[in-house]
A and B are shown apart, each in its own frame.
Chain A
Amino acid sequence: MSRTDSGGENGVHTDPTAIAELAQAAAHQVTEVAPDGSTSFYRARRTLPLRVELIRQLKRRRTQLVLGFLVLLPFVLVVAFQVGEDNGNNRSGGFVDLATASGVNFVILTLFVSSSFLLPMIVSLFFGDTIASEASWSSLKYLLAAPVPRHRLLRRKAITSGVLSVFALALLPAVALLAGVVWYGAGEAVSPTGEAAPFADSVLAVVLTVGYLAVQLFWVAGLALFLSVSTDAPLGAVGGAVLASILSQILDQITALGDLRNYLPTHQALAWVDVFSTDVDWSNMLWGTFSSLAYGAFFTMLAARRFATKDITS
């Protein structure tokens, strides 16, 4: 069989033998039908395997850039600390002053500076973009017609985004810990409340922090997912979720709101600092978990309902 292999449009050409082959294949293949009306090899529960969706997402330049940035960020911070003037007293002050006290303190700083904007943005990106970008590429309708059942598509995409988000959330402190230990040593970590904790304990605290951050950012994930199924513009979904997060943080600064601020989903966003003390006070983190789960579950259900009932017109 011969093909005309020139790269341009003019070379695009179907060989007549290909048509014959296809017709022959079609004539020989008899579709076996399952009771549910599908071809016998189709199983709804096998559609859109995680591996496939992960490949689809990981091959995106956007995903690679985000992960690359997370790897780079701790080194940028290290360079910043090396270039900047060290006041020598690295045992008092805020997170920034404490950062060079030990490897783990460097991780705490990295998480602290990124937890207000960067991490919500990354979660928004993974969750807000996932459906909306398929819609913008028009590939969503083909997935749904494959058919990948809608609830399954949403779930699989949410799980993939969740895997990517948790990976990103873990990658940043992991790289920061590596950089921190190399530059600032594996000494005892000084907690924000002035306690010193052994290295091993504080590494465990970092792991707990990643866990809490993952739960705490669930509300952003839910909101981004809801926006993602509501719009065909990925930027709108991602930006909307980020804006909501920023708005919540701004309102949290308004002390005049008093107790009302407890209802803000970001109110306990920094509660993870509690795990770095010797006797961990879980109350703030539990409230944060509850608030985030409640908001996240609400938005996720809203997203599922919207996606199940919506007309796909992209």
Chain B
Amino acid sequence: MNRLFRTRGRWSVSAVIVVLALVGGVVLWSRSGDDPPPVSTRDAVMDVPDGPGSSQTIQIDTTLYLPQKTPAPAVLLPHGFGGSKQSVATQATELAQRGFVVLAYSARGFGRSTGQIALNSLDYEVRDAQKLLDWLATREEVVTDAAGDPRVGVTGGSYGGSLALLLAGVDPRVDTIVPVITYNDLTQALLPNSASTDEVARETASPGAFTADGVFKRSWAGIFFSAGLTSADSASPGREAREPGQEDDDASGGGGDTGAGTPGPSTQGQPGRPGGDQQLDACGRFRPEVCAAYTEVATTGRMSPATLELLRRSSPASVTDRITQPTMLVQGEQDTLFGLDQADANARQISAAGAPVKVVWYAGGHDGGSPGPELRGTIADWMDFHLGRKGADPGTGFEYQVQGAFRSSGTPSLRTVSASGYPGVGGAGPVERRALPLTGDEQLVVNPAGGNPAAVSNLPGLGAALSGSSSLASRLAVDLPGQAAQFSTQPLDGQVLLAGASTVRLRVAGVPGQPVPEDGAVLFVKLYDVGPDGTRTLPGSAVAPVRIALPADGGAAEFEVTLPGAVRPVETGHRVQVVVATTDQAYANATEPAAYRVSLADDAALDVPVVPGSNTSEGIPLGAVWGIAVVLLISALVAVVAVFRRRLASDVDPELTGVPLVIENLSKSYPGGLTAVKDLSFRVEHGQVLGLLGPNGAGKTTTLRMLMGLIHPSEGRIRVFGHRITPGAPVLSRIGSFVEGAGFLPHLSGAENLRLYWAATGRPAEQSHVEEALEIAGLGRAVDRRVRTYSQGMRQRLAIAQAMLGLPDLLVLDEPANGLDPPQIHQMRDVLKRYAAAGRTVVVSSHLLAEVEQTCSHVVVMHRGQLVAAGEVADIAAGGGEATFRVDDPERATEVLRGLEGVTEIGVDGDQAYASLNGVPRAVALTALVQAGIAVDQAGPRRRLEDAFLQLVGEETAR
């Protein structure tokens, strides 16, 4: 059936080509929209005054990114600490592709810009940025609101974010800002104190106590300072944070250089900076007063008023009451440098100044990675709306990301929760707080001399290395025995989604007889999620440092602690643990040995902020809904068209309704050139037993398959009772067939097979005559055995019985005698004859002449697909009085026969002599032969059919 295969193959190939073309077209079409618009860049170096009242200038290295279409609103894009304009190239390009003119620049003291770092001082960096705004206003590519007033937004990460805040505070020309992972108060970022003896305002989700005189955040400050010394950017998050729906890390691997300032390894350390100050001295590129302030804090752990004043002038807190521009605050949940409390303070202060504020907490930060592409897209959307008046209003909501447990590919899943507004800000109600009762007795904790060994909470600067496994980082936390007091809640009876800063009231007292430290007690308070097996997780890896003055008389100080802001689903059965430790690796610990009694304040409970919201979803994707509708519509259409085409297929010849079978000009050829049946025509009348005789490969089975509607004829048609045969034509219900082998379900018994077959025809069971048919099969008890145990003959008999189910008007049997033994063959002939005699029609195919002669009333002889002879068996087998004689000497026999009067057409065939006797009795001829001394072995009628058949079949002897 090689040719058949070829037909299929041809069809499949064309189908596959069409499908591939369609799919390819769709893919190309859908991707062509993804081609980013081109962005051109211009580098420029700008001279700006070195400082207030200074006549000298410094050079600021800038790059202007121009979108395809100008004029356009502008975005000023300052970089993170230790970075340069190169580190924001990715975000700048993205924003320019969104249609903004983007000005990226290296801040003074960074990259190729000259000058000295003044920590975003209002007198230095902020003025530089104002000069850049002046310049932007002169550019014809930039849309202006008024002369000298460009329409401009400012966004930046960390150091750049604080510049955005400071610039917006002093320069009303700024239209909107998006500060990312930045600070409100640098003194609190570097020397935080989370203890407050007064009530802390707890309306917002993540308040910080922001009490003066904090504990020096030693490791981060050192990293920060060294970044300014060497431009090695270890202060920035090393990679992008993961985003919801993002499956793995590789997906964002390409875009490491983002707004928060993430230079690749190649930009770490800037070789060959211009200017004379690239000598690596103790102050690096810092301004002397900044350097001196750092030196003071780093050596003493405390701040002088001068330092305080210096850091204040670098803190957005000094200008936030003047920020009225729409502000989106983006802060990281994995950030031990600038925690959620910093964004909280910004939000409160800016909102109080009257500006609309949107707050976003994402699963990143200085420890967890810079904003990923989706969040950068959100920032661009914000700019689009507030600068370009395009797109949907991003509103003033609050979003935070929750890290789940699902790790299909090694990374946890994320979801984003949205609330209508940041709690306690801009009209939103105060945050919901849940009190979790804490238990724990008074405990004694000891501060070791020198503050060493120290507990471990986080590893600043390793954020880049660890952020890929923030869960790992949060499990690194170690408390040292004797240095930590622990207070726990009961196991939770339901999940609590902690979102923000919890608060707790503690009481600390000195140990009688021991002096209390003059500087106040330094303690570190942290909040653990403790699993049922004791696994402790420190959400956000953050601790709340506390410096509290203790009464000298040995009395207790009672105070409230604002724990670090974090987002953490604490599961059912988990406990929340508050730990008060005396040391922490990341901070400047107290060096004098001391011991404290730590206890909970009366009726102390952990106050946990909860921000209900709905999970952010992308909404219902209309494309998918339309797609589903279109697919369903097309399917329905195809079904309807198919039904109509089938309805129209009926074809009846009313004159032939009484004729069981008419075959006209039937041909079946295959594309390979093989013709199985060629121009076959014959007719079977009512009551006939027709034999279809031919050697193997004559086309008998192909004809019968076409008769059953299994094979489509190439030409011609078959009519059964006048109805043209098509696949599944209803008239087939009047045909019982057995073609080329039995077909049964091997796992069912013979009887079940027949019953289920009849049930499949959908006709009434009483018409089936299953019992009679099974009697014909005569399988005895074997009918209840599985068919797979049957022999070939048994299957054959069962198949013939199946063909007779329902007593069909036309019974078609293909080689029914195959596999039967002689008595069975004999019985079968009897069955067929009796069946036809009862008014039915039978068509039997066979390659055995004797079979046809003994069974059939009529015969059609086929060879190589063509009809050779057709007619009554008797006519064809023994017509015209011809006789043959098997003799020992055929030559002499012919002579004898010639001597007889009237005998003609004499011939020899092997050891036989034959002649047409023309009325001469066969006995007379026989007597003449015997009298002539010829030994006659056999005398009989001349078998023309056999001759013809043998001649056709050639070597394939049929008998």
Does chain B have a CB within 8 A of A166? Answer: no
Report whether B708 and A141 are in contact in the complex, using a CB–CB cutoff of 8 Å. Answer: yes
Is A184 engaged at the interface, CB distance under 8 Å to the other chain?
no
Q: Which residues of B contact A153 (CB under 8 A)?
A: 728
Query: In the assembly, what is the distance between CA of A45 and CA of B730, in Å?
Result: 11
Interface 1/0s, chain A 1-24, versus B by CB < 8 A?
101111101011111101111111
| Interface set, chain A 31-66, CB cutoff 8 A to B | 31, 33-34, 36-39, 41-49, 52-53, 55-56, 59-61
Task: Please tell me which one of the listed residues B533, B767, B797 contacts residue A41 in the complex, with CB atoms under 8 A apart.
Answer: B767
Contacts of B806 in A (CB 8 A): 39
B403, B615, B779: the one within 8 Å of A277 (CB): B615
Contact of B642 among A43, A146, A260, A304 (CB under 8 A): A304
- Nearest chain A CB to B322 CB, angstrom units: 38
Q: Is the CB of B415 within 8 A of A277?
A: yes
A58 CB to closest chain B CB (Å) equals 10
Rounded to whole angstroms, the CA-CA distance of A62 and B573 in the bound complex is 44
Instruction: Note all chain B residues with C-beta closer than 8 A to A4.
Output: 780
**Which residues of chain B come closer than 8 Å to A34, judged between CB atoms?**
730
Q: Are A21 and B730 in contact (CB under 8 A)?
A: no
B769 to A22, Cβ gap below 8 A? yes
A144-B710, A281-B618 known; A91 vs B628 contact (CB < 8 Å): no
Size class of the contact patch on chain B: 35 or more
**A48, chain B: closest CB distance, angstroms:** 5
Q: Output the nearest chain A residue to B803 by Cβ-Cβ distance.
A: A142
Tell me the smallest distance from the CB of A145 to a CB of chain B, in Å. 4
Chain A CB count within 10 A is highest, among B728, B767, B831, for B728
Listed stretches B69-77, B677-685, B753-761; interface member: B753-761
* A301 cross-chain contacts in B, Cβ below 8 A: 635, 638
The residue that A19 contacts in the complex, of B4, B251, B824, B827, with Cβ under 8 A, is B827
Complex formed: what's the CA distance from A26 to B616 in Å?
A: 74
CB distance B731 to A19 under 8 Å?
A: no
B405 adjacent to A98 (CB under 8 Å): yes
Q: Are A150 and B727 in contact (CB under 8 A)?
A: yes
B605 within 8 A of A: no
- Asked if A27 contacts B531 (CB within 8 A), the reply is no
A88 within 8 A of B: yes
A25 is an interface residue with CB less than 8 A from chain B: yes
Q: Spot the interface stretch: A73-81, A123-131, A189-197.
A: A189-197
Q: Which of B173-181, B742-750, B856-864 contacts A (4 or more CB under 8 A)?
A: B742-750
- The verdict on A93 contacting chain B, using a C-beta distance below 8 Å, is yes
A147 CA to B495 CA, complexed, in Å: 62
Minimum CB distance partner of A6 in chain B: B780
Known: A5-B781, A39-B806. A281 touches B617 (CB 8 A): yes
**Contact flag A141-B780 (CB < 8 Å), given A15-B775, A147-B709, A196-B494:** no
Report if A138 contacts B (CB, 8 A): yes
| B804 surroundings in chain A (CB, below 8 A) | 22
| A22 pairs with B406, CB closer than 8 A | no
Q: Which of A145, A273, A286 contacts B624 (CB 8 A)?
A: A286
Taking a contact as CB atoms under 8 Å apart, the answer to whether A230 and B8 are in contact is yes
Stretch at the interface among B104-112, B456-464, B837-845: B837-845
Most buried by B among A14, A29, A301: A14
Which of A11, A42, A89, A145 is close to B535, meaning CB atoms less than 8 Å apart?
A: A89
Within 8 A of A (CB), among B593-626: 614-621, 623-625
For the complex, is B763 an interface residue (Cβ under 8 Å from A)?
yes
CA distance A119 to B553 in the complex (A): 73
Identify B780's interface contact among A5, A29, A297, CB under 8 A. Answer: A5
Question: Could you say which residues of chain B place their CB within 8 Å of the CB of A38?
Answer: 730-734
Q: Does A201 contact B (CB under 8 A)?
A: no
B404 touches A9 (CB 8 A): no
Shortest CB-to-CB span from B450 to chain A, Å, is 36
Determine if A89 and B531 form an interchain contact, defined as CB atoms under 8 angstroms apart: yes
A94 to B791, CA, bound (A): 56
Whole-angstrom CA separation of A110 from B816 in the bound complex: 53
Tell me the bound Cα distance from A278 to B495 in angstroms.
13
- Taken residue by residue from 349 to 368, chain B's Cβ proximity to chain A (1 for < 8 Å, 0 otherwise) reads as 00000000000000000000
Distance, CA A15 to CA B775, complexed state (A): 7
| Other-chain residue from A22, A45, A190 in contact with B571 (beta carbon distance below 8 A) | A190
Q: Is the CB of A47 within 8 A of B571?
A: no
Please report the number of residue pairs spanning A and B whose Cβ atoms sit closer than 8 angstroms.
361
Query: Could you tell me if A18 and B772 are in contact, using CB atoms closer than 8 angstroms?
Result: yes
Using CB atoms, name the residue of chain B closest to A145. B708
Interface residues of A toward B: which range? 35 or more
- Are A145 and B407 touching (Cβ within 8 A)? no
Given A94-B407, A98-B405, A150-B728, residue A287 in contact with residue B761 (CB < 8 A): no
Cβ of B159 to closest chain A Cβ, rounded Å: 32
Q: State whether A193 touches B406 (Cβ < 8 A).
A: yes
Please state if A31 and B734 are interface contacts (CB–CB under 8 Å).
Answer: yes
Contact with A along B1-31 (1 / 0, CB 8 A): 1001000100110010001000100010001
* Nearest CB of A to B769, in Å: 6
Beta-carbon nearest neighbor of B251 in chain A: A255
Assuming A91-B573, A293-B631, is B760 touching A310 (CB within 8 A)?
A: no
Residues in chain B near residue A53, CB distance under 8 A: 760
User: Is B739 in contact with chain A by the CB < 8 A criterion?
Assistant: yes
Are B729 and A147 interface neighbours, CB within 8 A?
A: yes
Does A293 contact B632, Cβ atoms closer than 8 Å? yes
Q: CB of B96 within 8 A of chain A?
A: no
Instruction: Kindly list chain B residues whose C-beta atoms are within 8 Å of the C-beta of A260.
Output: 27
Report whether A26 and B405 are in contact in the complex, using a CB–CB cutoff of 8 Å: no
Checking B15, B569, B763 against A302 with a beta-carbon cut-off of 8 angstroms, the contacting residue is: B15
From A42, which residue of chain B is reached at the shortest CB distance? B733
Say whether A194 contacts B569, CB under 8 Å.
Answer: yes
A284 neighbours in B (Cβ, 8 Å) = 245
Check if A282 sits within 8 Å of B617, measured CB to CB. yes
| A263 to B627 CA separation, bound complex (whole angstroms) | 13
| Cβ proximity bits B703-737 to A, threshold 8 Å, 1 near / 0 not | 00100111110000000111100011111111101
In the complex, what's the smallest C-beta–C-beta distance from A199 to chain B, in angstroms? Answer: 12
Whether a CB of chain A sits under 8 angstroms from the CB of B542 is: no
Residues of B within 8 A of A92 (CB): 405, 531, 535, 537, 571
| 18 A-B pairs whose Cβ atoms sit less than 8 Å apart in the complex | A18-B778, A19-B827, A31-B734, A42-B761, A42-B763, A44-B730, A91-B531, A137-B746, A148-B760, A149-B727, A152-B728, A191-B406, A192-B413, A194-B405, A195-B497, A255-B251, A259-B34, A278-B615
- State the 9 A-B residue pairs at the shortest beta-carbon distance, nearest first: A192-B406, A88-B533, A46-B762, A138-B743, A37-B731, A194-B404, A18-B775, A149-B728, A193-B404
Q: Can you add 8 more A-B contacts, CB < 8 Å, to A91-B532, A145-B708?
A: A3-B778, A21-B775, A22-B776, A22-B834, A92-B531, A191-B406, A196-B572, A263-B23
